[in-house]
Amino acid sequence: MTKIISEDIFIVKKRNLKNDYYSLVLKPFSKIENCQPGQFVHLRIPSASIFFRRAFSLADTNAEKGTIEIIFKVFGRGTRILSSFRKSDYLNVLGPLGVPFKLPDKKEKVLIAAGGIGLPPLLYLVAEMVKKGYNPETIEFFYGGKTAADIIERNRIKKMKVNFHPVTEDGSFGEKGLITTPMEEMILENKAEKMKIYSCGPEGMLKAVNELGLKYGIEGQISLEAPMPCGIGLCLGCVVPLVKGGHARVCCDGPVFDIGEVVL
Amino acid sequence: MTKIISEDIFIVKKRNLKNDYYSLVLKPFSKIENCQPGQFVHLRIPSASIFFRRAFSLADTNAEKGTIEIIFKVFGRGTRILSSFRKSDYLNVLGPLGVPFKLPDKKEKVLIAAGGIGLPPLLYLVAEMVKKGYNPETIEFFYGGKTAADIIERNRIKKMKVNFHPVTEDGSFGEKGLITTPMEEMILENKAEKMKIYSCGPEGMLKAVNELGLKYGIEGQISLEAPMPCGIGLCLGCVVPLVKGGHARVCCDGPVFDIGEVVL
Amino acid sequence: MTPDLKVVIAGVEFSNPLMTASGCCGYGEELSEIFPLSKLGGLVTKSITLHPRLGHPTPRTAETSCGMLNAIGLANVGVDKFIAEKIPFLARQKTKIIVNVAGSTIKEYVEVCARLNDCEPIDMVELNISCPNVDEGGMEFGADPKMTEKSIRAVKKVFQRPLIAKLSPNVTSIVEIAQAAEQGGADVLSLINSLVGTAIDIDTWQPRLTNNKGGLTGPAIKPIALAMVDAVYSHCKLPIIGIGGIASAADVVEFMLCGATAVEIGTALFIQPDIPVKIAKDLKTYLKDKKLTSITNLIGKVRKYK
Amino acid sequence: MTPDLKVVIAGVEFSNPLMTASGCCGYGEELSEIFPLSKLGGLVTKSITLHPRLGHPTPRTAETSCGMLNAIGLANVGVDKFIAEKIPFLARQKTKIIVNVAGSTIKEYVEVCARLNDCEPIDMVELNISCPNVDEGGMEFGADPKMTEKSIRAVKKVFQRPLIAKLSPNVTSIVEIAQAAEQGGADVLSLINSLVGTAIDIDTWQPRLTNNKGGLTGPAIKPIALAMVDAVYSHCKLPIIGIGGIASAADVVEFMLCGATAVEIGTALFIQPDIPVKIAKDLKTYLKDKKLTSITNLIGKVRKYK
Ligand SMILES: Cc1cc2nc3c(=O)[nH]c(=O)nc-3n(C[C@H](O)[C@H](O)[C@H](O)COP(=O)(O)OP(=O)(O)OC[C@H]3O[C@@H](n4cnc5c(N)ncnc54)[C@H](O)[C@@H]3O)c2cc1C
Ligand SMILES: Cc1cc2nc3c(=O)[nH]c(=O)nc-3n(C[C@H](O)[C@H](O)[C@H](O)COP(=O)(O)OP(=O)(O)OC[C@H]3O[C@@H](n4cnc5c(N)ncnc54)[C@H](O)[C@@H]3O)c2cc1C
Ligand SMILES: Cc1cc2nc3c(=O)[nH]c(=O)nc-3n(C[C@H](O)[C@H](O)[C@H](O)COP(=O)(O)O)c2cc1C
Ligand SMILES: Cc1cc2nc3c(=O)[nH]c(=O)nc-3n(C[C@H](O)[C@H](O)[C@H](O)COP(=O)(O)O)c2cc1C
Ligand code: FES
Ligand code: FES
């Protein structure tokens, strides 16, 4: 049995979450049992101006219903066209792809660091942890955006009963500034505890989070983006340099890497 | 004011006429007042595998509603994708294009010779004639297809009260054979009358109709098809040789030509 | 302040850098039913030859992935009829008129250009030394530096206004050909013409073109054209007109950043005949966003990696 | 009766004419998670060089209209690690193994091929004398008939199994290069490699590739590749492996009608990694419809216009 499949699956639910943010629920995905948080799917967008597939992190899966969810923001041509798709349209999905997050020990404090459209894989990670019996009170959910409009799915996060720390650059929702400031405060206040960081978001943020982890010796993982022609390790188009030397492919050696592993 | 326009217009009605035959009604088309039978529109089909526009004869127009109708048969990639479009989708339409049919004298007997998907422009022509007060009894509507399934819009033809002569190659509907046989009989029976022929259909049929016209000295017009990259006379990709020498562009010197004018 | 789209090439001022490419706008009449030709910086006519030509039989175009093949075969009315019947219309249009000239011998080029020299409304001639669709020569001129230089030098003697050499991409080094054209006295370079290609009908096993092969054009070839403009700009002093797959303002910006002073739009006209009007509008918006006052600020400004 | 997809090239039998192209299937491991490699006639590895290479920094790919640009820069593990770590996996696959070799000097090609000669599971070597993405040479070999002949002759001395010369399309006459390769002793020709191209980011004004330019591949280039296969088939006796934009069974049929005995599929794998399996199935259907018993009935059977 192959581990990865490419198949046409249907949009069963489409939601416009806020402004340019959308959620698509798709089914039936044959490899639903293989999916883990941190993995992504590669979608083919049938249009004249789109040649490559586009990568989207799994934002959730539902094994009983056979559904997967992706959440995206309209960014360029591909996502614009994707946002025009409707319920009962189908898309060709290749996946699940990439190396998933390694779950923390149950005793550890977990710092989630989501930035902008880096949210989806972390939503899935936390949902999975809660489902697996992790205590949501040990999960500190930092989520930063430019402005209030970039903090989506607030109720979904609150429902998971984690400690929610929204941060916006303009202070229009939650704390004002960048998430690394309250994160560093949290780290300093809880020096005695064992902690793990999980992060996904814009490059600048990942860099800051990576440094934070290195500075305080906190282990954790970050999920990277890269241009991904194939998504499965064939083309070598998505490489990042490794601290130990050499290159790693973001699509199949990642997208999840340990803090301190890659040169950012 | 330019004579031709390119604009996005909406599908307001889609009908699956029979098997692979579809009708699309589109609006609002700004140049509706300019449209005449024999003219066509050039549709852009937004898809990765379709580069050129595709030409479709006007099958009807409704000036009050601002709608145009096209009727097509799924033939290749373009028409297959077109058949997947739905109500409220929009298409970019370039038109109206080409030289229309010249209407006959009101006293003349009119022989319509439609073959397969050559029907749409002739439907429009006859509807327009009836609207303009031509006596439908003087219109002999020959319409040939491979089999019964290829004779579409029968009620629509009957409602126009013309003399309907369906012909199928396998005899599954109407007379058996090719339309030129009953047409020739009709010509021989009505030698005394002045007649005009209007035809659109597959190449072989047009050739036979053209010869019929020449043989009996009956004037008329045929509407041709050709590969049409631009549809407006820019590329010279659609030329046919003329009997008098030289080339004519099917898209803008045609698609309607006089019997005896082009080398078939 | 609205940004300025004006560009000057070999002393001739164009109201914007957008021209229609040879063979893609006939002699302008049809396009003028879609938009006023004054919206164009310039119009380049279908290739004119000494004698009228019918070209190859239909099918002489074929659809390909993001592009097309054509083997029209230089169908045109011939220089005399062109001057008598087409120039009067063109002369009335408020746009620059560039006549594209093709031939199968140097003598033919010279003869056509000599007649055009006496025709006042013509602003420039573009020498098609690169058409892949005629057996008699066309292509060979453009593939051989010596022939390129020689033919241009000969034409320069009889045609007094600016001369554009239109280069073929079907060569090992377009820079070498560009330099030969410069040597021969060309005032401007335009590139690229179409790339040799073919397509087969898998039902009939026949080529999709009666000429068996043709020229590939359209968005498919844009990256190739862009790399060639970039290479020629780095090795030649002449102003460049970029051609190949242009279908948007973004494409025009790319070509200008790589060194083009103006562009020609070909195949895109078949898909969207009013595209030059939209591109001109979008270019203004782009320049405004970038806080640039003149489109000439873009020319050759690509910021290459070291 | 199921039609036979088997083809024989230089004495080696392939279960079908479908191979994966160099640089588009790594060393086979990843693809084997999508479908069993036995479904392929053959697999062509990423270019192997004497020493390991990291290639150019990211971004080293860019999307284009119906195609892509890449300037990976021959990233590979080097011949020693390839033999030690990749060959054991490849040897277990029930498909033909073709190792693509690149170098910047003839000596390097020879050294790599000598080591591969001792490596039993390898069925053929494909000499990449045409990669546009390295400054040190690659490209020049393939653009110059003399260098082509010389490098192939040198490799033939050390590599005893069939040798494929992979040709560059960035030349005035690919026929001339093909004949030089034949002269040098190549057993098979494969064509085409990618076409030099570039793309610019109009926001940053930087090229989309850190190497400033790259190679254009994918459906966009298919008509060019097809015309080159056709030209080489008409002027050379060697068997041809067709490459360039193949993404469907129809594409394979076109290439074979133009003279290819087999094909390599590259970029299409990135869009639809299981495409070779679908193509093999569709080819059988096509042959059945056409009442042909063997796919070899297609080779060179294009019915050209006179
Ligand atoms: C592992 C991973 C997970 C992701 N998860 C999400 C998610 O959950 N939600 C979300 O909104 N976004 C996600 N993204 C980003 C998403 O793929 C981008 O939004 C998308 O690529 C931008 O696409 P676009 O077509 O809208 O923009 P475009 O402007 O069309 O593309 C952006 C630019 O990137 C280039 N590009 C796009 N795709 C590729 C490619 N595959 N290879 C090379 N160049 C390319 C385009 O050519 C263009 O220049 C993820 C990306 C990765 C790598
Ligand atoms: C004036 C005119 C009026 C028409 N009216 C109708 C009508 O009313 N109803 C109807 O069903 N059909 C009509 N057609 C035919 C219709 O355009 C064809 O069905 C269509 O071109 C086939 O398209 P396809 O995409 O389904 O097939 P495809 O298989 O995609 O195309 C058929 C073949 O023709 C080629 N081709 C398609 N379009 C072009 C082009 N523009 N230039 C060059 N080659 C091209 C394709 O490359 C392909 O090889 C008309 C054609 C013309 C010229
Ligand atoms: C149908 C067609 C006809 C053409 N005829 C000519 C011609 O007569 N002379 C010429 O120099 N170029 C001719 N060309 C080439 C174009 O001028 C242009 O160089 C080429 O199409 C690339 O630009 P594009 O991709 O924008 O179309 C023709 C192109 C097409 C598509
Ligand atoms: C990402 C990428 C990497 C490539 N690397 C190599 C290579 O290392 N050696 C080589 O000979 N060709 C290489 N090629 C060229 C392909 O083998 C093939 O010749 C070309 O892509 C055309 O085929 P296609 O259009 O099917 O992709 C590469 C192509 C791509 C897209
Ligand atoms: S995207 Fe192709 S190797 Fe990662
Ligand atoms: S289709 Fe272009 S001239 Fe007729």
Average pLDDT in chain B:
95
pLDDT at B230: 97
For the segment B92-129, what is each residue's pLDDT rounded down to a tens digit?
999 999 999 999 999 899 999 999 999 999 999 999 99
Confidence (pLDDT) at B1: 55
Query: How far is A178 from A116, CA to CA, in rounded Å?
Result: 11
Encoding tokens for residue D12?
């080696």
3-state secondary structure string across chain A: CCCCEEEEEEEEEEEEEECCEEEEEEECCCCHHHCCCCCEEEEECCECCECCCEEEECCEEECCCCEEEEEEECCCHHHHHHCCCCCCCEEEEEEEECECCCCCCCCCEEEEEEEHHHHHHHHHHHHHHHHCCCCHHHEEEEEEECCHHHCCCHHHHHHCCCEEEEEECCCCCCEECCCHHHHHHHHHHCCCCCEEEEEECCHHHHHHHHHHHHHHCCEEEEECCCCCCCCCCCCCCCEEEECCCCEEECCCCCEEEECCCECC
pTM: 0.96
Rounded CA-CA distance B111/B94 in Å is: 30
Mind listing the pLDDT tens digit for each residue in B64-89?
999 999 999 999 999 999 999 999 89
Tell me the ligand closest to B40's alpha carbon.
2
**D276 alpha carbon to ligand 1 midpoint, in Å?**
26
- A28: cis peptide before it, omega within 30°? yes
Cα distance from N-terminal residue to C-terminal residue, chain A: 36
> How far apart are the CA of C72 and the nearest CA of chain B, in angstroms?
7
The C-alpha atoms of residue D87 and residue D99 are separated, in whole angstroms, by 10
Q: Which residues of D are catalytic?
A: 131
The per-residue pLDDT for D241 is: 98
- Could you give the percent of chain A with pLDDT greater than 90? 94
Q: Which of C244-258, C265-279, D117-131 has the lowest mean pLDDT?
A: D117-131
- What does the domain layout of chain A look like in residue ranges? 6-97, 109-258
Residue C14 reports pLDDT greater than 70: yes
Q: Which atom of ligand 6 is nearest to the CA of B227?
A: 1
Alpha helix ranges (H) inside C41-133: 79-81, 87-92, 106-117
Q: Which residue has the tokens 């903090």?
A: A151
pLDDT at C69 > cutoff 60: yes
Is the Cβ–Cβ distance between B184 and B165 less than 8 Å?
A: no
What is the enclosing helix (H) or strand (E) of B199? strand B195-200
Closest CA of chain A from B54, distance in Å? 15
pLDDT digit string (tens) for A151-171?
Answer: 999 999 999 999 999 999 999
8 A C-beta contact, residue D67 and residue D218: yes
Contact A50 B46 (CB under 8 A): no
What per-residue confidence (pLDDT) applies to D180? 96
Mean pLDDT of B142-161: 95
Residue-averaged pLDDT of chain A: 95
The average confidence (pLDDT) of chain D is: 95
User: Three-state SS for C34?
Assistant: coil
Q: Provide residues with CB under 6 Å of ligand 2.
A: B 40, 52, 54-57, 70-73, 75-79, 117, 120, 225-229, 255; C 61-63
Structure tokens at C118: 């006496």
Q: Any alpha helices (H) in chain C, and if so which ranges?
A: 79-81, 87-92, 106-117, 138-143, 145-158, 174-184, 222-235, 249-257, 268-271, 275-289
Q: Work out the pLDDT band at C140, boundaries 50, 70, 90.
A: low
Q: For B180-200, what is the mean pLDDT? A: 94
Work out the average pLDDT over D76-104: 96
Cα–Cα distance measured from residue A47 to residue D263, given in angstroms and rounded to the nearest whole number = 27
Check if D218 has its Cβ closer than 6 Å to any atom of ligand 4: yes
- The C-alpha angle with vertex C244 and arms to C241 and C248, in degrees rounded to 5, equals 95
Average pLDDT (A213-232) is 96
Asked if D72's CB is within 8 angstroms of A236's CB, the reply is: yes
Query: Measured between alpha carbons, how far is D246 from B158 in angstroms, rounded to an integer?
Result: 50
Q: Positive or negative CA dihedral for C123, C126, C127, C133?
A: negative
Q: What percent of chain C lies above the pLDDT cut of 70? A: 97
pLDDT single digits (tens) C80-125 = 999 999 999 999 999 999 999 999 889 999 999 999 999 999 999 9
Whether D121 contacts chain A with CB within 8 A: no
Which among D266, D304, D301 is positioned nearest to D287, based on CA atoms? D301
Cβ–Cβ < 8 Å for A201, A113: yes
* Residue C213 predicted with pLDDT over 80: yes
Summarize the confidence of residues B206-223 as an average pLDDT.
96
pLDDT at D131: 62
Say what percent of chain D tops pLDDT 70: 97
- Contacts A51 to B, Cβ<8 Å: 48
Confidence at residue C139, expressed as pLDDT on a 0 to 100 scale: 56
Output the six-digit token pair for B224: 């041709």
Ligand 6 touching residue B233 (CB < 6 A)? yes
Query: What pLDDT does D3 receive?
Result: 95
CA dist., res. C236 & res. C232, Å (int): 6
CB-CB contact of C95 with C42 (8 Å): yes
Centre of ligand 6 from the C-alpha of residue C79, in Å: 22
Quick one: which ligand is closest to A240's CA?
5
Residue of D nearest to A239 (CA): D58
For residues A225 and A205, give the distance between their C-alpha atoms in angstroms, rounded to a whole number.
12
Backbone angles phi, psi at A81, to 5 degrees: -65, -40
Q: Is B34 on the interface with C (CB under 8 A)?
A: no
Question: Which residue from D9, D73, D15 is spatially nearest to D47, judged by alpha carbons?
Answer: D73
The predicted pLDDT at position B191 comes to 87
**DSSP characters for D132-188?**
TT-TTTTHHHHH-HHHHHHHHHHHHHH--S-EEEEPPS-SS-HHHHHHHHHHHT-SE
- CB-based contact B232 C33, cutoff 8 Å: yes
Q: What is the pLDDT of residue A1?
A: 55
How far is residue C296 from each of residues C235, C262, C283, C284, C301, measured CA to CA in Å?
Answer: 20, 9, 12, 12, 10
* DSSP label of B17: E
Residues of chain A in contact with residue D272, where contact means CB-CB under 8 angstroms, are 6, 44, 92
CATH 3.40.50.80 fits A109-258, yes or no: yes
Query: Within 6 Å (CB) of ligand 1, which residues are found?
Result: A 40, 52, 54-57, 70-73, 75-79, 117, 120, 225-229, 255; D 61-63
Tell me the per-residue pLDDT of D234-264, one tens digit each, with 9 for 90 and over.
999 999 999 999 999 999 999 999 999 999 9
What is the mean pLDDT of the segment spanning B142-146?
Answer: 96
Q: Calculate ∠ Cα C129-C130-C131, nearest 5°.
A: 115
Residue B263 to residue D284: CA distance in whole angstroms: 40
Task: Find the residue in D nearest to C298 (Cα).
Answer: D205
Instruction: Evaluate if residue D54 carries a pLDDT over 80.
Output: yes
Cα separation of D163 and D153, whole Å? 10
**How many helices (DSSP H) and strands (DSSP E) are in chain D?**
10, 14
Q: Is residue A84 exposed (0-12), middle (13-18) or buried (19+ Cβ within 10 Å)?
A: exposed
Q: What is the dihedral of CA D254, D259, D265, D271, to 10 degrees?
A: -20
What length is written for chain C?
306
Which domains are assigned to chain D?
A: 7-51+78-196+213-298 (3.20.20.70)
CATH architecture for the domain at A6-97: Beta Barrel (2.40)
